[in-house]
């Protein structure tokens, strides 16, 4: 093969690689944009909402009846934890009994 032909084929291969990489980057950006962002006005699918009643698992409060382990959610925090009325601290979803 002539030197000029080799350069042409090398350039075409390089251009094809650049176009493939650019296409992959654009596809990834589109997928990232398509993911809906959670805002404070529209929280989306969350496990608790303010005013909702939640019950601590029996293992965390042994010797107490279900009514004594049930509290009302005061506020949902951005990290997925909740603040409760009459209970101090932040609490995660795993601390509560699943809803029936």
Beta-strand (E) ranges in the chain? 53-55, 70-76, 82-84, 87-91
Average pLDDT over the chain reads: 87
Residues 57 and 70: their CA atoms lie apart, in Å, by 10
**pTM, to two decimals:** 0.55
pLDDT in tens, 16-61: 999 999 999 988 888 877 656 555 555 567 888 999 999 999 998 8
Q: Write down the residue that tokens 């009643």 correspond to.
A: 53
């Amino acid at each position: 093969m002539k030197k000029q032909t080799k350069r042409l084929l090398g350039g075409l291969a390089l251009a094809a690689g650049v176009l493939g990489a650019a296409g992959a980057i654009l596809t990834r950006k589109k997928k990232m944009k398509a993911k809906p962002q959670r805002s404070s006005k529209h929280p989306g699918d969350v496990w608790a909402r303010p005013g909702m009643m939640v019950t601590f698992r029996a293992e965390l409060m042994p010797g107490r009846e279900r009514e004594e382990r049930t509290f009302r959610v005061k506020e949902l925090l951005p990290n997925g934890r909740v603040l409760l009325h009459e209970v101090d601290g932040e609490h995660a979803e795993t601390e509560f009994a699943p809803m029936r």
